[in-house]
């Protein structure tokens, strides 16, 4: 069985890795495909240092994003309740339903924080009352806000 070769990818390769990844492949795959197509370069101590620097920068960037999400979460939860006015029929039933776009617009108007509507999880809102909505700000950060549905 032959030895495996360590390479650094210079572009995304399907089922192998993305740009800047350190991978181990069979010598024939490296010699006959990756290196001639300039999809990868052989590892040297200098290239390994570059890879480490790039990983550290990426880690710092992700940490910074998470900290920003934490501050946005604190601001959202400090804002308290958000009130949406809807037309009401019999038995406190509202016409239609409360959508994630309405909640996102309400948060933007109240706190000047833009929130992606796809990151908002609402319960089924069909009547007047107070409901809890989850707003996903980051992969690891979710804020819980109160939505008050009131009569128009």
Confidence (pLDDT) at 27? 94
Helices (H), 34-127: 45-79, 100-111
Cβ–Cβ < 8 Å for 41, 7 = yes
CA distance linking residue 25 with residue 33, whole number of Å: 11
- Residues whose CB falls within 8 Å of the CB of residue 144, separated by 6 or more in sequence, listed in order: 77, 132, 133, 134, 135
Domains of the chain, with CATH numbers? 5-63 (3.40.5.10), 68-151 (3.10.430.100)
Confidence (pLDDT) at 20? 87
Confidence (pLDDT) at 1? 56
The rounded average pLDDT for each run of 10 residues, N- to C-terminus, in the chain (152 residues) is 86 92 94 95 92 91 94 89 90 89 92 91 92 92 93 86
Answering whether pTM is above 0.85, one says no
The tens digit of pLDDT for each residue in 52-96 reads: 898 899 999 999 999 999 999 999 988 888 999 999 988 888 988
Confidence (pLDDT) at 96? 86
Confidence (pLDDT) at 120? 94
């Amino acid at each position: 069985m032959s030895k495996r070769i360590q390479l650094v990818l210079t572009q995304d390769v399907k089922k192998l890795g993305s740009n800047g990844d350190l991978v181990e492949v069979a010598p024939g795959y490296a010699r006959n495909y990756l290196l001639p197509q300039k999809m990868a370069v052989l590892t040297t101590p200098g290239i390994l240092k570059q890879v480490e620097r790039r990983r550290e920068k990426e880690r710092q960037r992700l940490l910074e994003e998470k900290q920003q999400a934490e501050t946005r979460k604190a601001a959202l939860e400090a804002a308290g309740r958000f009130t949406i006015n809807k037309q009401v029929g019999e038995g406190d039933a509202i016409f239609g339903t409360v959508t994630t776009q309405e909640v996102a617009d309400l948060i933007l108007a109240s706190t000047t924080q833009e929130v992606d509507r796809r990151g908002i999880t609402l319960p089924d809102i069909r009547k007047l009352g107070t409901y809890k909505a989850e707003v996903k700000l980051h992969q690891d950060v979710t804020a819980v806000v109160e939505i008050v549905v009131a009569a128009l």
